[in-house]
Amino acid sequence: MSKKVFPVSQQQLEKIIEKYPTPFHIYDEKAIRLNMRRLFKAFAWAPGFREYYAVKALPNPRILQILREEGAGADCSSLPELILSEKAGITGERIMLTSNDTPADEFQKAIELGAIINLDDISHIEYLEQNAGLPKIMSFRYNPGSIVGGNDIIGKPEEAKYGLTRKQLFKAYKIMQQKGVGRFGLHTMVISNELNDNAFVATAKMMFKLAVDLKNQLGISLEFINLGGGIGIPYRPEEHEVNLEAVGQGIERVYKEILVPAGLDSTEIAFESGRAITGPYGYLVATVLHEKKTYKDYIGLDASMANLMRPGMYGAYHHIVVVGKEDKPCTKIYDITGSLCENCDKFAINRNLPEIQIGDRVVIFDTGAHGHSMGFNYNGKLRSAELLLREDGEVELIRRAETMTDYFATLTGFSGSIM
Ligand SMILES: *Cc1c(COP(=O)(O)O)cnc(C)c1O
């Protein structure tokens, strides 16, 4: 069971809303820091353990700074993400570029930063060399194909656009050796929002065996093996969180079983986890604007799918609490909606909740990853503010809400005046 408790009192929340109107996302600094420490502790046995935080999950430089202070690097997949990481003080090989269908300017920036480049395809070797030059250290993304099951979010590996096949992988490392590159890493990401501890150990096992094969066939001693992101979080209260300590121990076991006897005992383990680092420590706060009763009972919020896309896009569950009614019985069944002209704009369907009144504050849980960052402007919806609940209890604005001026700013060729 995962407890769903909003770390702000009702009274404090009303004070925050006086200054920053709803909707907004608010992130819990203390919890994020403690969680980051927990991951490092679970892998304290691993030489040079690294976490490259997946910037796309929560691309706010203030958050990246906090994570950097806790020892994290950054996993980037676009030019703005590289720049955000750089500005947050994450530099050199603490940045990993894991992108696909990569444009030249991303490669150029990664080379300029001295970041680790993780190539998604064998054809990208030539593209990289021509457009940006070759780095000193090279990593490749492995796609194991049908030997791994996949799931709804990430899909089946053989249907996934990412990574190189095993055969291509061996060829790619060989090409790089011939080109004089001497330092290597290996990467995969085959699971997403996975809650089963064993899945991570199984991935590690597959990758460690591959590392031994690479050593035997090509004489490569990998500097690091990046096991990707995909550590899940319990979105539903009845789900269990991943036991990071058990995952750490399980991976240690296969490390000693497979890598150490092969002489690969200094291979560093890396993750590029996003969701599991910040996901549970973000909350979308909204206000109830309307109640509509037709064939169903609808509660309309001032937030919409533009603020949190996961329920509409994946049918994902996000826990919802009505502030001040946490202990009231859930006697009602509601659809909780936003205002987009899309029927999938629902935060919850047929959700049991206490009786809701107009003006009630609603907290939607687990928005600290793939929440605000997946926001969009469809239907003229503006992206919300992001707040940080600091360790000292103060609330800091770390991104203001968009205004209509922002929304209109990119328009050209129109002869009238909009604002
Ligand atoms: C999205 C992504 C991640 C992060 O995934 P989480 O589910 O947030 O852990 C890591 N690596 C790559 C390559 C990704 O695409």
CA of 366 to the centre of ligand 1 (A): 16
> What is the number of the ligand 1 atom nearest to the C-alpha of 57?
8
Of all protein residues, the one whose alpha carbon is nearest to atom 7 of ligand 1 is 230
CA of 371 to the centre of ligand 1 (A): 14
Buried b (16+ CB within 10 A) or exposed e, 240-272: eebebeebbebbbebbeebbeebebeebebbbb
Res. 151: pLDDT tops 90 = no
pLDDT for residue 157: 84
Annotated active-site residue 341? The verdict is yes
Stretch 180-201: mean pLDDT, rounded?
95
For residue 380, give the DSSP letter.
G
CA of 5 to the centre of ligand 1 (A): 26
Q: State which of 58, 275, 281, 310 you would mutate to test the pocket of ligand 1, scoring each by most atoms of that ligand within 8 A of its C-beta.
A: 275
Span 398-414, pLDDT tens digits: 999 999 999 999 999 88
> What is the number of the ligand 1 atom nearest to the C-alpha of 229?
9
CA of 153 to the centre of ligand 1 (A): 11
Of all protein residues, the one whose alpha carbon is nearest to atom 14 of ligand 1 is 229
| Residue pair 366/282 in contact by the 8 Å Cβ criterion | yes
Whether the pTM exceeds 0.75: the reply is yes
Span 348-402, pLDDT tens digits: 999 999 999 999 999 999 999 999 999 999 999 999 999 999 999 999 999 999 9
> What is the number of the ligand 1 atom nearest to the C-alpha of 56?
1
Span 113-141, pLDDT tens digits: 999 999 999 999 999 999 999 999 999 99
pLDDT for residue 152: 56
341 CB-near residues (< 8 Å, 6+ apart): 379
The Cα 118–Cα 222 span in angstroms is 13
> What is the number of the ligand 1 atom nearest to the C-alpha of 232?
7
Q: Tokens 């530099």 belong to which residue?
A: 91
Res. 303: pLDDT tops 80 = yes
Q: Tokens 């990998």 belong to which residue?
A: 222
**Catalytic option among 76, 330, 341, 344:** 341
pLDDT for residue 149: 60
Of all protein residues, the one whose alpha carbon is nearest to atom 10 of ligand 1 is 229
pLDDT for residue 156: 80
Q: How far is CA 375 from CA 12, 175, 305, 365, 381, in A?
A: 26, 40, 8, 16, 9
Stretch 30-50: mean pLDDT, rounded?
98
Q: Which two tokens stand for residue 130?
A: 């021509």
Strands (E), 178-227: 183-188, 224-226
Span 242-260, pLDDT tens digits: 999 999 999 999 999 999 9
Res. 28: pLDDT tops 90 = yes
The Cα 292–Cα 298 span in angstroms is 5
Q: State which of 272, 278, 310, 372 you would mutate to test the pocket of ligand 1, scoring each by most atoms of that ligand within 8 A of its C-beta.
A: 272
pLDDT for residue 414: 87
Residue 303 identity (one-letter amino acid): A
Q: State which of 189, 242, 373 you would mutate to test the pocket of ligand 1, scoring each by most atoms of that ligand within 8 A of its C-beta.
A: 189
Span 165-181, pLDDT tens digits: 999 999 999 999 999 99
**Which residue from 154, 230, 198, 193 is spatially nearest to 317, judged by alpha carbons?**
193
pLDDT for residue 150: 57
Q: Which helix (H) or strand (E) holds 387?
A: strand 385-389
pLDDT for residue 68: 98
Q: To the nearest whole percent, how much of the chain has pLDDT over 70?
A: 98
Q: State which of 75, 233, 241, 247 you would mutate to test the pocket of ligand 1, scoring each by most atoms of that ligand within 8 A of its C-beta.
A: 75
Q: Tokens 């304290």 belong to which residue?
A: 44
Instruction: Tell me how far apart the 2 most distant CA atoms of the chain are, in Å.
Output: 73
Stretch 207-229: mean pLDDT, rounded?
97
CA of 322 to the centre of ligand 1 (A): 31
CA of 354 to the centre of ligand 1 (A): 35
**Which residue from 268, 222, 331 is spatially nearest to 45, judged by alpha carbons?**
268
CA of 151 to the centre of ligand 1 (A): 14
Hey, how many other C-beta atoms are within 10 angstroms of the C-beta on 315? 11
pLDDT band at 323 (very low <50, low <70, confident <90, very high): very high
β-pairing, 50-54 with 268-271? parallel
Res. 207: pLDDT tops 60 = yes
Span 67-102, pLDDT tens digits: 999 999 999 999 999 999 999 999 999 999 999 999
> What is the number of the ligand 1 atom nearest to the C-alpha of 98?
13
Q: Which two tokens stand for residue 39?
A: 């991951």
The Cα 89–Cα 396 span in angstroms is 20
Q: What interhelical angle do 79-87 and 61-69 show, nearest 10?
A: 50
Q: Which residues line ligand 1 (CB under 6 A)?
A: 54, 56-57, 75, 98, 189, 192-193, 228-231, 272-276, 369
Q: List, in order of start, the domains of the chain with CATH numbers.
A: 29-279 (3.20.20.10), 280-408 (2.40.37.10)
Stretch 187-214: mean pLDDT, rounded?
95
Between 90-99, 148-157, 164-173, 230-239, the lowest mean confidence (pLDDT) is in 148-157
* Averaged pLDDT of the chain: 96
CA of 261 to the centre of ligand 1 (A): 31
